[in-house]
Amino acid sequence: MDTSQYLDIFLDESKEHLQNLSDQIMELEQNPENMDTINEIFRAAHSLKGMAGTMGYKRMQTLTHDMENVFSEVRNGTFKVQPGMIDILFKSLDALEEYVNNIQQTTEEGTNDNQDLIDALNSILKNNGEVKVGDSTPDAPADPAADTTAKAESPDADSSDGKKERWQDIKINDTEKMLIEKANSEGLKVYGVTVYVEEACVLKAARAFLVFKALEKLGEIIVSSPTAQDIEDEKFELTFSLIFISGNTAEEVKEAVKSVSEIEEAFCAEYKAAAPAPAPTAAPAKTETKSAAEVKTAAPAPAAAPAPAAAAKPAAAAASTTKPTAAAKPVVNRTVRVDIEKLDNLMNLVSELIIAKNSLISATAAEGKGDNNSVNEQIEYLESVTTNLHESVMKVRMVPIESVVAKFPRMIRDLSKKLGKKMELYMTGEDTELDRTVVDEIGDPLMHMLRNSADHGLEPNDVRVANGKPETGSIFLDAYQDGNNVVIAVRDDGGGINVEAVRNKAIERGTVTPEQAETMTEKEIIDLLFLPSFSTAKKVSDVSGRGVGLDVVKSKIESLSGEVEVKNHFGEGSSWIIRLPLTLAIIQALMVVVGDEKYAIALGSIQTIEDVLPEDIKLVQAKEVIHIRGTVIPIIRLRKVLDIPSGEENSNKNLTVIIVKKGDKLAGLVVDELIGQQEVVIKSMGKYIKVPKMISGATILGNGEVALILDTNALI
């Protein structure tokens, strides 16, 4: 079966299950007795195992199966959750995540069997929940289900101990013996059949029922092990055996069984009534003749047996030689889950759009008869529909940032152990929605900031206690909507930023001279932290110290038309605030004229528009400022910034100044003329034009002209 068409769904579902497992195991660490959590983990692991098996990812399936076994025993009350177990489970999650990432990049799960984790999980089963280092692999199959699975997946290994002929273990009574003798006398053949169901199979009983139905068309089933009732109640592992009378060949019987989907393998050979030999002396002779007979009857079996497992390897090898061309490009997760109501609304608006188009055509046809009012009415109606359509599409693109922040509690837990500091993460506003394209990009910046808070921000436990603080440090991740922006703040109750240390490091590196450092404000010094390779860490660790974090944060956030702001309270903690636009696709903008060119300024960044007299402009430290309602605001002449010739200016003419905001900073942009508010679609300038930072893109106006969009964050 070609499963490539389901790859996107598999990746989405796997990531959801992995995140759910991570959250639930975190919860389990706090409340080991919570049965609801244990059941939820068992269900998620079971679903993940089934999906991996269906897609043919055996390594992922095996590891998840062993995790499921552990939780099965916890759920049954065999043993309780212990701290060592939690660490192994988290490592197993990391391994599963590695498999999923490999699949996303190459469609293959990779070659890492993670045998050490499988051994550790089996050690947990064997030692009643304790992890004992050094348990060898032969002890691993303490779990019968795992043992059965191993045998089901490796028929060749089975053949060494004759287990593939499990029908030999069936005990027959006198009535069944009589039926076998009668069948032999009538020239019919009696077969022993052993069937292995795929591990990923969800409804084992249904598959077994279909096998029974297929066989009943060819003959009569005398006895089965387990019994038919047990099989119906799913009281069996991944294999069952039966004795079967038929006039067909062994190969035809085997084919009938294998025609049922989700059957891993089937073994069929002629059944000899003398199989359970009463005399020990006769055993070797019987075994020899049996083997000889089987060389003939079951000759195809060794070749056919590896079909699912071994034959899958050539297929995988073939895939690995042929796929790289197709799989060179990573499988990117580009799906968005959408509420059906949003789609209904979108559909209704598209219907309205079609009606508006038809009405406009009719009105235009009637225009020659002097009915201009009708055309104007339809244009207004069309404008209303397109505005609603835009809003509706925007809502469809919006996703909660929960998908990004959900992995951080686990990260902070790991950092707490690695750094030897007690810390807790508190999150609010996970349901805050952002454009999908923005959400996909903010994971790394947020991760860097949280690691920064954990390593640099929070003091060691003993220092905190000495300073009269709680031993456990607190890190807060808050998200909320502010107008057309989303604000994400990372703050901690640590020691804050040591401005003097930053100043000294900057002088030591030659970034600034001692004279410059003396005149720099606290904010200017803190901004030095965003320079590449700048770090105040005394030594480089695997958590931080190379200075490659904050410059990445700044460049990434600014590429999303956002901004980063730092608020510092030395000794009390610091706040790192990211401000991002809700969307990067369509914005409400104010159209302005500077010189002979038209420009767009995002409405979200505009505070007010002021009419300023020339004499109200003052000079402070050789920079032009205006004083409005008790606030001193620097002004930026766009003609000068954009290098537009001055032209003929009337120095006595009032200035049109647009007051824009960036965090807590204000600036006034001097423009020549205002056109009005307009909805604009942002178009990228492409990679071939070197665009200054102050230009965030371009838009096409109604008359076909191109207007540049100004990024006020870069201007301030």
Distances (CA, A) of 549 to 388, 545, 552: 41, 9, 5
Examine the residue annotation and report whether 46 is marked as an active-site residue of this protein. Answer: yes
Residues in the chain: 716
- Of 122, 248, 452, 568, which residue is the catalytic one? 452
Examine the residue annotation and report whether 372 is marked as an active-site residue of this protein. Answer: no
Going by their DSSP bridges, the two strands 631-637 and 665-671 should be labelled as parallel
Kindly tell me the sign of the dihedral angle through the C-alpha atoms of 524, 528, 529, 535: negative
Question: Six-digit token pair at 292?
Answer: 């000889």
Q: Is the peptide bond before 226 cis (omega within 30 degrees of 0)?
A: yes
- Answer for the pair 546, 540: CB distance below 8 angstroms, yes or no: yes
- Answer for the pair 82, 76: CB distance below 8 angstroms, yes or no: no
CB-count exposure of residue 164 (10 Å: 0-12, 13-18, 19+) = buried
Neighbouring C-beta atoms of residue 701, cutoff 10 Å: 14
Examine the residue annotation and report whether 452 is marked as an active-site residue of this protein. Answer: yes
What is the rounded distance in angstroms from the CA atom of residue 707 to the CA atom of residue 715?
A: 17
DSSP state of 459: P
Sequence-separated (6 or more) residues with CB below 8 Å from residue 213: none
What is the rounded distance in angstroms from the CA atom of residue 696 to the CA atom of residue 714?
A: 9
- Of 20, 40, 68, 568, which residue is the catalytic one? 68
- Of 17, 46, 65, 448, which residue is the catalytic one? 46
Going by their DSSP bridges, the two strands 706-710 and 597-602 should be labelled as parallel
Kindly tell me the sign of the dihedral angle through the C-alpha atoms of 222, 224, 228, 232: negative
Kindly tell me the sign of the dihedral angle through the C-alpha atoms of 482, 486, 492, 495: negative
Sequence-separated (6 or more) residues with CB below 8 Å from residue 516: none
CA atoms within 13 A of residue 571's CA, in its CB half-sphere: 3
Sequence-separated (6 or more) residues with CB below 8 Å from residue 188: 219, 245, 246, 247
Active site residues per annotation:
46, 68, 452
